[in-house]
Amino acid sequence: MAARPSPYLDDLNLAQREAVEALDGPVLMLAGAGTGKTKALTCRIAHLLNTGRARPNEILSVTFTNKAAREMKDRVGRLMGQAVEGMPWLGTFHSICVKLLRRHAELVGLKSNFTILDTDDQIRLLKQLLKAYNIDDKRWPARQLSGVIGHWKNRCWLPEQVPGGEAAAFNNRGIELYKAYQLRLRELNAVDFDDLLLHMVTIFQRHPDVLEQYQRWFKYILVDEYQDTNVAQYLWLRLLAQGHRNICCVGDDDQSIYGWRGAEVGNILRFEKDFDGAHVVRLEQNYRSTPHILAAASNVIRGNESRLGKELWTDKDEGEKVRLIGHWDGDEEARWIGEEIEALQRGTRGLRPYSLDEMAILVRASHQMRGFEDRFLTIGLPYRVIGGPRFYERQEIRDAMAYFRVVTSNDDDLAFERIVNTPKRGLGDKAQQNIQQTARHHGVSLVEGARILLDEKGIGGKGAKELRILLDGIERWSEVARTHTSRAVLDDDEAVIDDGGARTSMTHMELAEIILDESGYTAMWQNDKTPEAPGRLENLKELVKALESFENLQGFLEHVSLVMDNESDAEGAKVSIMTLHAAKGLEFPAVFLPGWEDGLFPSQRAMDESGLKGLEEERRLAYVGITRAEEIATISFAGNRRVYGQWQSQMPSRFVDELPEEHVEVLTPPGLYGGGYGAASPMSSRLDERAASADAYNSPGWKRLQERSGSRPVSQPRESRAPVIDAQAISSHTVGERVFHQKFGYGEIIGIEGDKLEIAFDKAGTKKVVAKFVTTPND
């Protein structure tokens, strides 16, 4: 074969070159973050093509996301100096298996046009099954069964292969139901996501001729992020590679973060056993991060006992230390990060200017995103959410908002349609059509139509009963929304009543909670046993929290519709917001890591677990997070977070203590010294909240922050120095005065109307707000 020049090899270090040039036989590249594993893998593809070892369609290359696959393909093209056509087998495990299974579907009793069920379809199917088996799906929810079956499929167990030790699963009926579910799928000519791999492994195991065909076809196999493969994926790879053994896997045991989804780090260790004589390449030079960042990450991961252990080095210039900052609360944290991003954009403190594309915020839990999204929308900072919908686009948020919409406007038919059978109320398509027809016939809204239908007894059974409950609820909630809700803190009379302990009305946050509870919506997710359910409940809490900055439900809904309207897919630089899980393999010059607090990161679940497994996985996530940063890493935590309108005091994460002091600079929140923003943020006048805050200030979390700050004392939180503006102060506002609002930032008063102020905000435009939420900057 003609030897073409391979200039891409010149960009590699010796160890990488070794891994790229060892084209034949098994290769395991085991190395830390940022050492150029993915780069080496990409060069290896280029080299295979360039040396004529394989054609593009003879290379099987597995990446963790479709995005990573696209990028890899582009890079191969760039390395070769020409676009690469036809790499059909470069993709995720799932995308590759779909293609294979379409070709061989009949071997597992399917037709080649089988459907792939999404989670909703799958749950619906399991529910039908539970019904057929007379199993109460309230006690034994379909989602739980789905979790059990998924767990078995990830281990590549067919129903008859599930080991006896698992027989007790799902009230002793798991295996039987798994079997029935597989039969039903076959009848429907359908598969679920996990089946894609399971079926392919089954086919390869039962049909050696088919396996051989692919063993020959895929001359070379490459796998990125190998540490996160599960057993089924591992078996599939092993089967395919056993012929020629030309398999190259790259991974980092310290970045294994999908244990909760069945990934097994053990696969790395097994590799050397299964592929005897494997060429093991270790890379130690990190090309991504500055020494301070690298040292911080290495020190954190050193806390894990179960690791293979490796040291990284870099020859980059020293750069900035890892920055650590504690904030009074979560809002404060979001505001500071917003300002900091803008400062970095301008190029402050002798740093180069950073474009928004170069910055990312990596959160532990997706519910943390809301605070940032709201803040960025307010100040007009373009952002994108990677690996998931933006907060207000999430299913549970849209559902909850549909409830609020129906309550504030009973005519909102679209919203009513969304919630009428969510949670399930036994109102199927037929019943819903009936409601539609009645409404159309009488020329009224769906809510009204439903009422008429009930009165006319046009609907019966469970559905009728549940519909009546829903309509009564809507009526009750609407009434409360119209007449009774106000913020106790906004209204002087009420504040007095509050102090006396007698509550005559409720806040719109309370109403929101009541709507979600009484409608059964919260319970729907509480009974849901999928791994996503806790996150959805957190998001709902976050939603209720978001209401706090608004006067009533209506005001909030208006804000959101504006937000959604403004949202453009405009091209241009944007800050990325994503979870730590989604950030795997990526890199950014400047990274923000907020919410480093015990209970959030590490998660409460990991902390409650006996043994170290959960905690060690969280620590690996911390390592993944820090090592995404090239030049600037900023870790932050808040002393307080508000959950359901209640302050909760937070301890800085135990991982904060694991950061090596000599590589960390503790920043001081500007607000704490009256510098920086110089304004007091508003504080509710509710006594209980104040008490809670005072406690929080004495909490060990704040004390630890104080200790860490060393010579720089952390002074009183701003709130406790700046008195909440009372009724008198409100009347003392004057037109032309500069004020500060927690949500909208600085602005100038242009009109006063009772307790409402019209303010031209510097960033958020002109808005009417309640005076209680406005403070005068502290001089």
12 binds, among Mg ion, ligand ATP, none (CB under 5 to 8 A by kind): ligand ATP
431 binds, among ligand ATP, Mg ion, none (CB under 5 to 8 A by kind): none
Please tell me whether the peptide bond between 141 and the residue prior to it is cis, using omega within 30 degrees of 0. no
Nearer to ligand ATP, 182 or 627 (CB): 627
Q: Among this protein's residues, is 634 annotated catalytic?
A: no
Catalytic residue among 192, 225, 374, 412: 225
Report the candidate in 340, 478, 463 with the shortest Cα–Cα distance to residue 409. 478
The minimum distance between CB 594 and Mg ion, in angstroms, equals 24
> What are the CA-CA distances from residue 188 to residues 122, 125, 130, 488 (Å)?
12, 10, 17, 56
Q: Among this protein's residues, is 332 annotated catalytic?
A: no
The minimum distance between CB 28 and ligand ATP, in angstroms, equals 14
625 binds ligand ATP (CB under 6 A): no
Residue 585 structure tokens: 């393999």
Nearer to ligand ATP, 625 or 745 (CB): 625
Beta-strand runs (E) in 484-626: 575-579, 588-593
Angle between helices 195-206 and 231-241 (to 10 degrees): 40
92 binds ligand ATP (CB under 6 A): no
* 649 CB neighbour count, 10 Å cutoff: 20
Q: Among this protein's residues, is 321 annotated catalytic?
A: no
Tokens 């607000």 locate to 671
13 binds, among Mg ion, ligand ATP, none (CB under 5 to 8 A by kind): ligand ATP
> What are the CA-CA distances from residue 582 to residues 60, 227, 587, 621 (Å)?
23, 15, 11, 11
The CB-nearest residue to ligand ATP is 36
Catalytic residue among 63, 122, 215, 255: 255
The interface region with ligand ATP, picked from 33-41, 437-445, 448-456, 738-746 by CB under 6 A, is 33-41
The minimum distance between CB 34 and Mg ion, in angstroms, equals 8
The minimum distance between CB 15 and ligand ATP, in angstroms, equals 9
Tell me if residue 554 falls in helix, strand or coil.
helix
CA distance 258 to 400: 30
685 binds, among ligand ATP, Mg ion, none (CB under 5 to 8 A by kind): none
Query: Over the Cα atoms of the chain, what is R_g?
Result: 29
Residue 107 structure tokens: 């071997």
451 binds ligand ATP (CB under 6 A): no
Q: Do the Cβ atoms of 258 and 228 come closer than 8 Å? A: yes
Residue 746 structure tokens: 């600085």
Catalytic residue among 137, 192, 224, 466: 224
92 binds, among ligand ATP, Mg ion, none (CB under 5 to 8 A by kind): none
Nearer to Mg ion, 38 or 146 (CB): 38
Report the candidate in 245, 316, 317, 252 with the shortest Cα–Cα distance to residue 283. 252
Map residues 249-288 to x or -, x wherever contact with ligand ATP holds by CB under 6 A. Answer: ---x--x-------------------------------xx
33 binds ligand ATP (CB under 6 A): yes
6 binds ligand ATP (CB under 6 A): no
Nearer to ligand ATP, 40 or 512 (CB): 40
Judged by CB under 6 A, the chain residues 182 through 241 that form the site for ligand ATP are none
Q: Do the Cβ atoms of 463 and 508 come closer than 8 Å? A: no
DSSP annotation string for 128-187 = HHHHHTT--TTTS-HHHHHHHHHHHHHTT--GGGS-GGGTTTTTTTHHHHHHHHHHHHHH
Catalytic residue among 545, 574, 628, 642: 628
Q: Do the Cβ atoms of 769 and 779 come closer than 8 Å? A: no
CA distance 249 to 745: 50
What are the residues whose beta carbons fall under 8 Å from the beta carbon of 353, sequence distance 6 or more?
344, 345, 346, 347
39 binds, among ligand ATP, Mg ion, none (CB under 5 to 8 A by kind): ligand ATP
The interface region with ligand ATP, picked from 6-14, 382-390, 475-483, 647-655 by CB under 6 A, is 6-14
The interface region with ligand ATP, picked from 28-36, 466-474, 560-568, 734-742 by CB under 6 A, is 28-36
Q: Give the residue, chosen from 19, 38, 333, 400, that forms a contact with ligand ATP under the rule CB under 6 A.
A: 38
240 binds, among ligand ATP, Mg ion, none (CB under 5 to 8 A by kind): none
The interface region with ligand ATP, picked from 31-39, 137-145, 402-410, 652-660 by CB under 6 A, is 31-39
Can you list the alpha helix ranges (DSSP code H) found in 421-532? 429-442, 446-455, 461-479, 492-500, 508-518, 521-526
| Residues in contact with Mg ion by the rule CB under 5 A | 37-38, 585
Q: Binding site membership for ATP: which residues?
A: 31-38
The minimum distance between CB 620 and Mg ion, in angstroms, equals 15
745 binds, among Mg ion, ligand ATP, none (CB under 5 to 8 A by kind): none
CA distance 126 to 146: 8
Q: Among this protein's residues, is 628 annotated catalytic?
A: yes
> What are the CA-CA distances from residue 216 to residues 59, 69, 99 (Å)?
11, 23, 17
Q: Which residues pair with 647 in a beta bridge?
A: 642
The interface region with ligand ATP, picked from 7-15, 82-90, 148-156, 491-499 by CB under 6 A, is 7-15
The minimum distance between CB 320 and ligand ATP, in angstroms, equals 18
| Contacts of range 525-534, beta carbons closer than 8 Å, 24 or more positions apart | 525/396, 527/138, 527/141, 528/141, 528/143, 529/141, 529/143, 529/144, 529/147, 530/119, 530/143, 530/146, 530/147, 531/147, 531/260, 531/261, 533/143, 534/605
The minimum distance between CB 602 and Mg ion, in angstroms, equals 24
* 517 CB neighbour count, 10 Å cutoff: 11
Largest CA distance in the chain: 91
Q: Among this protein's residues, is 368 annotated catalytic?
A: no
554 binds, among Mg ion, ligand ATP, none (CB under 5 to 8 A by kind): none
36 binds, among ligand ATP, Mg ion, none (CB under 5 to 8 A by kind): ligand ATP
Q: Give the residue, chosen from 37, 367, 733, 743, that forms a contact with ligand ATP under the rule CB under 6 A.
A: 37
CA distance 376 to 385: 12
Q: Among this protein's residues, is 290 annotated catalytic?
A: no
35 binds, among Mg ion, ligand ATP, none (CB under 5 to 8 A by kind): ligand ATP
118 binds ligand ATP (CB under 6 A): no
* 710 CB neighbour count, 10 Å cutoff: 9
Nearer to Mg ion, 37 or 772 (CB): 37
Please tell me whether the peptide bond between 208 and the residue prior to it is cis, using omega within 30 degrees of 0. no
Report the candidate in 514, 506, 567, 564 with the shortest Cα–Cα distance to residue 544. 514
Nearer to ligand ATP, 122 or 255 (CB): 255
Nearer to Mg ion, 42 or 50 (CB): 42
The minimum distance between CB 228 and ligand ATP, in angstroms, equals 11
Report the candidate in 582, 589, 515 with the shortest Cα–Cα distance to residue 553. 515
Q: Binding site membership: which residues?
A: 31-38
The minimum distance between CB 140 and ligand ATP, in angstroms, equals 41
CA distance 413 to 540: 23
Q: Are strands 575-579 and 383-385 parallel, antiparallel or unpaired?
A: parallel
The interface region with ligand ATP, picked from 12-20, 344-352, 659-667, 764-772 by CB under 6 A, is 12-20
11 binds ligand ATP (CB under 6 A): yes
DSSP annotation string for 85-96 = P--TTEE-HHHH
The minimum distance between CB 621 and Mg ion, in angstroms, equals 16
The minimum distance between CB 59 and Mg ion, in angstroms, equals 18
Judged by CB under 6 A, the chain residues 626 through 645 that form the site for ligand ATP are 627
Q: Which residues bind ligand ATP (CB under 6 A)?
A: 11-13, 16, 31, 33-39, 252, 255, 287-288, 585, 587, 627
Q: Which residues are designated catalytic?
A: 37-38, 224-225, 255, 628
